[in-house]
A and B are shown apart, each in its own frame.
Chain A
């Protein structure tokens, strides 16, 4: 269960990293705040914590081996 949750989190984090890179590229053209590496990591960690809290503690999702 744990390993599946981590695997799903890693996939989500990779997609979040891609989204942040696209956002930073847009920041070179649009007046939006550029996210530096440290702030991007903080954002990803906050989202990860929110996901773990919501899915495992509130919604009781199953991350079994057959999923």
Chain B
């Protein structure tokens, strides 16, 4: 097969060009490590973020939706990054999962997951009634849960866009909340 010389000239320009752009993008991301969580490996963080799907209340944040069961032997720690609406599940220095989450906690907040878990939770904020499901208690009066309704209206699609701020909560999707309920008691939660 004979390839047109003009086409060849285009490819000689296009593919090295693409390679250079990709290298520059990766170098730029690597140099701006301030956006990344401190104390965990950069590589594991980038790979788990790449595996994130779009935020949807009905779906797990991870592509494939399968979460590994983690025990206290795994030394699990949850790092919530408020700015990025993400919770990183860290074992030792490796990020094993990244989850979409609305973090309604102050920066620097630290606590541990308690024994208490349940199905239904109701909050009243500024006259609005918010119901949530699949809750896991942490710290003093903190909850990881999945929002169900706001003033009787069902929460659909991307819950991260919801304006109502539910203090002392980390709001995650239903499958993620269900998985987080299985986290061992004493798992640390840190907000960065």
Contacts and interface: CB of A to CB of B under 8 A. Distances in A.
B118 interface: no
B10 A9 contact: yes
Interface stretch (B12-20, B106-114, B131-139, B162-170): B12-20
A16 B14 contact: yes
Contacts of A5: 6
Contacts of B13: 47, 50-51, 54-55
Contacts of A55: 6, 9-10, 13
B63 interface: yes
Interface stretch (B44-52, B150-158, B175-183): B44-52
A12 B9 CA distance: 11
B26 interface: yes
Contacts of A32: 22, 26, 46, 50
A33 B17 CA distance: 17
B4 interface: yes
Interface residues of B, number: 25
Nearest to B42: A31
B84 to A, nearest CB: 15
B7 interface: yes
A17 B22 CA distance: 13
Contacts of A33: 25-26, 29, 46, 50
B90 to A, nearest CB: 16
A27 B46 CA distance: 9
B46 A31 contact: yes
B4 A16 contact: no
Given A23-B22, A43-B18, A28 B6 contact: no
**Shortest beta-carbon contacts, A-B, top 5:** A31-B43, A31-B46, A34-B50, A27-B50, A33-B29
Interface of B: 4, 6-7, 9-11, 13-15, 17-18, 21-22, 25-26, 29, 42-44, 46-47, 49-51, 63
Interface of A: 4-5, 8-9, 11-12, 15-16, 19-20, 23, 27-35, 39, 43, 46-47, 50-51, 54-55, 59, 61-63, 67
9 contacts: A4-B6, A8-B10, A12-B10, A34-B50, A54-B13, A55-B9, A59-B9, A61-B9, A67-B4
